[in-house]
């Protein structure tokens, strides 16, 4: 049985990914700060608790990340996959206006969290020829005015995925953009973007919501789950879109 750790599993894309992984028969370690939401998800998706483990943690805290990995190994004896999904968008403000403490916190969650978890999980991932799926964004490769910390952190995460692919050929390491997904992060864009983003860019996200064009989290969540379980070594180091045809083929092959 594959054991997959999903960060940011309390809501949104991470919750959908964790639920789908459980449906696909994996054992799942769920982490985020909101213990109640994690317990509720695990209780619903794995009522007997045989294949789920809830470990509340703040990914910006290195010792907390180390404890999550230790708890996963203590419970399941192995770790085959890490989905680095936890993320924050804020500050939503131009560089000169953004609060430096919030900027620092963004980097801590979006970049240092994935790094800490990879660092502490690596011996286990190497042993099991496992996979790391880093949830990224189009803003990692296209400058996003108003989201400087977020874009910078995610660009660095893309490079983290590439360096890991070079250093650890026995591990499959990817960065994946999930599309524009109907989650709390999109609410933040709609609510805070009017003040902190260029007006046309903000309107584009408001329109996507109004027109019902945001993706349900289950669609990219299914892609992340299939990648965490089945991404082939030949893809290691790539930055993939959730709906890349080869990802879609992988999803069909493994979830049909």
Ligand X SMILES: NC(=O)c1ccc[n+]([C@@H]2O[C@H](COP(=O)([O-])OP(=O)(O)OC[C@H]3O[C@@H](n4cnc5c(N)ncnc54)[C@H](OP(=O)(O)O)[C@@H]3O)[C@@H](O)[C@H]2O)c1
Q: Does 2 bind ligand X (CB under 6 A)?
A: no
Nearer to ligand X, 181 or 231 (CB): 181
The 194-233 contact track toward ligand X, x by CB under 6 A, reads ----------------------------------------
Encoded tokens for 208: 């996507």
> In the range 109-168, which residues lie near ligand X by CB under 6 A?
109, 135, 137
154 counts as catalytic: yes
Q: Does 178 bind ligand X (CB under 6 A)?
A: yes
Q: Does 65 bind ligand X (CB under 6 A)?
A: no
Q: Does 172 bind ligand X (CB under 6 A)?
A: no
Nearer to ligand X, 112 or 250 (CB): 112
Q: Does 106 bind ligand X (CB under 6 A)?
A: no
Encoded tokens for 75: 């419970």
136 counts as catalytic: yes
Residue 181 Cβ, how far from ligand X at the closest point, in Å?
A: 4
Q: Does 181 bind ligand X (CB under 6 A)?
A: yes
Encoded tokens for 202: 């903000």
Residue 105 Cβ, how far from ligand X at the closest point, in Å?
A: 8
DSSP the chain: --EEEEESTTSHHHHHHHHHHHHTT-EEEEE-S-HHHHHHHHHHHSTT-SSEEE----TT-HHHHHHHHHHHHHHHS---EEEE--------B-TTTS-HHHHHHHHIIIIIHHHHHHHHHHHHHHHTT-EEEEE--GGGTS--TTBHHHHHHHHHHHHHHHHHHHH-TTSEEEEEE--SBSSHHHHHHHHHHHHHS-HHHHHHHHHHHHTT-SBPTHHHHHHHHHHHHH--GGGTT-EEETT-HHHHHHHHHHH-
Q: Does 4 bind ligand X (CB under 6 A)?
A: no
Q: Residue count at the site for ligand X (CB under 6 A)?
A: 27
67 counts as catalytic: no
Nearer to ligand X, 141 or 248 (CB): 141
Question: Which residues form the interface with ligand X (CB under 6 A)?
Answer: 7-8, 10-14, 32-34, 58-60, 85-88, 109, 135, 137, 178, 180-181, 183-186
């Amino acid at each position: 049985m594959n054991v997959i750790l999903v960060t940011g599993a309390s809501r949104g894309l991470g919750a959908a990914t964790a639920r789908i992984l459980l449906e696909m028969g994996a054992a799942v370690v769920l982490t985020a700060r909101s213990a109640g939401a994690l317990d509720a998800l695990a209780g619903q998706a794995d009522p007997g608790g045989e294949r789920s483990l809830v470990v509340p943690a703040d990914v910006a805290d290195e010792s907390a990340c180390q404890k999550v990995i230790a708890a996963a190994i203590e419970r399941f004896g192995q770790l085959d996959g890490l989905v680095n999904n936890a993320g924050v968008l804020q500050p939503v403000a131009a560089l000169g206006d953004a609060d430096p403490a919030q900027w620092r916190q963004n980097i801590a969650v979006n970049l240092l969290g994935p790094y800490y978890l990879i660092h502490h999980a690596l011996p286990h991932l190497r042993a099991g020829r496992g996979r790391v799926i880093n949830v990224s964004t189009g803003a990692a490769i296209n400058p996003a005015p108003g989201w400087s910390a977020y874009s910078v952190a995610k660009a660095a995460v893309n490079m983290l995925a590439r360096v890991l692919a070079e250093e650890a050929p026995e591990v499959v390491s990817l960065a994946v953009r999930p599309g524009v997904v109907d989650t709390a992060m999109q609410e933040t864009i709609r609510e805070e973007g009017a003040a902190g983003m260029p007006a046309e860019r903000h309107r584009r996200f408001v329109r996507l919501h109004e027109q019902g064009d945001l993706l349900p989290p289950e669609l990219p969540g299914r892609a992340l789950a299939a990648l965490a379980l089945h991404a082939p070594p030949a893809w290691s180091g790539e930055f993939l879109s959730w709906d890349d045809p080869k990802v879609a083929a992988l999803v069909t092959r493994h979830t049909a």
